[in-house]
Amino acid sequence: MIKRLKSSVLFKNTFIYTLTEIINKAIPFLLLPILTMYLSPSDYGIVATFGAFSAILAVFIHLGMNGAINVNFFNLSKEQLKIYIFNALIVVSIATSIAFIFVLIFQDILSEQLAIPKIWLVVGVILAFSQFVTAVNLNLWQFEQKPKPYGVYQVLGMLTNVSIVLILVVWLGMKWEGQLIGLAIAKILFSIGSFGFIYKRGYLLFKIKKDYIEDALKFGAPLIPHVLSGWFRTGIDRVLLTTLIGTSATGLYAVGYQFGLIVGIIATAFNQAYAPYLYKKLTSIDMNGKRKLVKFTYMCFFAYLMFATLISLTMPWLIENFLNEKYHSAGEFIPLISFGYAFQGMYLMVVNYIFYMKKTVVLSLITFTSGLFHAILSYLLITFHGAIGAAEATVISFFILFITVWLWSTKVYDMPWTLKSNNA
């Protein structure tokens, strides 16, 4: 059975995708000791704020078009799909133009508040568009079940980015500009390459079709609040830190956040394997099986909390011994961020029941409200407690999201959470 599993297409594809993800996450993390020698916390803060700015632009530029293309990959013929992709590109191009106009009108305010030079605000718009083109190309490879070109392209993009950054930052001493130039060059080059691959593989037909534009918007536009709520929880803290305290605080927070995020990476990776297993189990399960799932869930809760404790105890030591002394205070953010992502891991364990029952309308309302709450709480806690307030907001809002979603999951799917239920 194991030999059969290892030889299966699913196993091979999953292994390649997982390996690609690990490499892409590991390379920037391993570069921290080098980059923190050449970049000040303020430099790192500008880079982090720019990343948050690009992410919020992407929400309104992409408009969920990527998801619309994905769900239609098997529903349309290839001839129809190539027209659909072109019309999705038209929608994104129009949204990009609107974003350009918005940035140009408000560039003075944005530049002052975000501490980002005006030219980089424009570059942020370009990179958001570039990101979409590359994502379409990668997703097409996924749906074609071609993980090798997907993995190679992803890793090459990361290596190109890192190589240029090292040359500009370490060799030429260009500070934060070097890191952003490396990012921009790599993303733009690989988006051009992605457009070429999409066209060469016959996925583009230059024909405007109103029905497809309407269909793509009907699918993508309602997803904006959901995607925006994610940015509220993971991006707005950088913006608030920069505007309320300064880029140095943002840089220290961003470095500490990366270490605490390890818990989140592990939790997300585990959930990718656990969710399909759970869905299969729920198709035919008795009360005894439910109790076993509940016990396993509680064991995972405990494991996430213990892992967060381990990260909290070890990673600050790692920062003090391997990163430049300018960043040693970044360790204070790690415990709160780690436990925040432990609660996110616990959230993932219970939200699967809601997805299984397809009760996602209320879930979207909960996540969006949680995102707004996180934004308000971040502002208040940063104002009164300083930079550590951003981490406090993360652990509090993630915990409340976990509890709220857990309570909703008990309403949509009956599980013996007290381990005493006798209902079948």
Question: In degrees, to the nearest 5, what angle opens at C-alpha 372 toward C-alphas 371 and 373?
Answer: 90
State how far the Cα of 342 lies from the Cα of 262, in Å rounded to an integer: 10
Out of 17-21, 144-148, 160-164, 346-350, least confident range: 17-21
Instruction: List the structure tokens of 416.
Output: 């013996």
Are 168 and 174 in contact by the 8 Å Cβ rule? The answer is: yes
Separation CA 252–CA 275 (nearest Å): 35
Q: Are 46 and 247 in contact (CB under 8 A)?
A: yes
In this model, does residue 4 exceed pLDDT 60? no
Instruction: Find out whether 186 and 160 touch, Cβ atoms under 8 Å.
Output: yes
What's residue 7's pLDDT? Answer: 52
CA-to-CA distance for 255 and 48, rounded, in angstroms? 9
Question: Position of tokens 């027209």?
Answer: 83
pLDDT band at 1 (very low <50, low <70, confident <90, very high): very low
Q: Could you report the per-residue pLDDT of 161-184, keeping only the tens digit for each? A: 999 999 999 999 999 999 999 999
Q: Provide the residue ranges of all domains of the chain, joining segments of one domain with +.
A: 2-221, 247-412
What is the phi/psi pair of residue 122, to 5°? -65, -40
Q: Which residues contact 197 (CB under 8 A, 6 or more apart)?
A: 137
CB 307 within 8 A of CB 266: yes
Mean pLDDT of the chain: 91
Percent helix, percent strand, percent coil in the chain, to nearest 5: 85, 0, 15
* DSSP annotation of 30: H
34-49 mean pLDDT: 94
Distance CA 289, CA 395 (A): 32
Q: Which residues contact 3 (CB under 8 A, 6 or more apart)?
A: none
Band (423; pLDDT cuts 50, 70, 90)? very low
Whole-Å CA distances, 75 to 72, 79, 81: 5, 12, 9
* C-beta separation of 109 from 53 below 8 A: no
CA 245 – CA 238 distance, rounded (Å)? 10
What is the band of 8 on the pLDDT scale with cuts at 50, 70, 90?
low
Q: Where are the alpha helices (DSSP H) in 144-246?
A: 147-166, 175-200, 210-220, 224-234, 236-244
- Compute CA distances 89 → 21, 67, 393, whole Å: 26, 13, 37
At 72, is the secondary structure helix, strand, or coil? Answer: coil
Instruction: Tell me the pLDDT band of 5, cut-offs 50, 70 and 90.
Output: very low
Closest CA to 63 of 215, 193, 268: 215
Q: Which candidate, 256, 392, 399, 397, places its Cα nearest to that of 334?
A: 256
Residue 27 has pLDDT above 90, yes or no: no
CA-to-CA separations, 193 to 69, 188, 190, in angstroms, rounded: 19, 9, 5
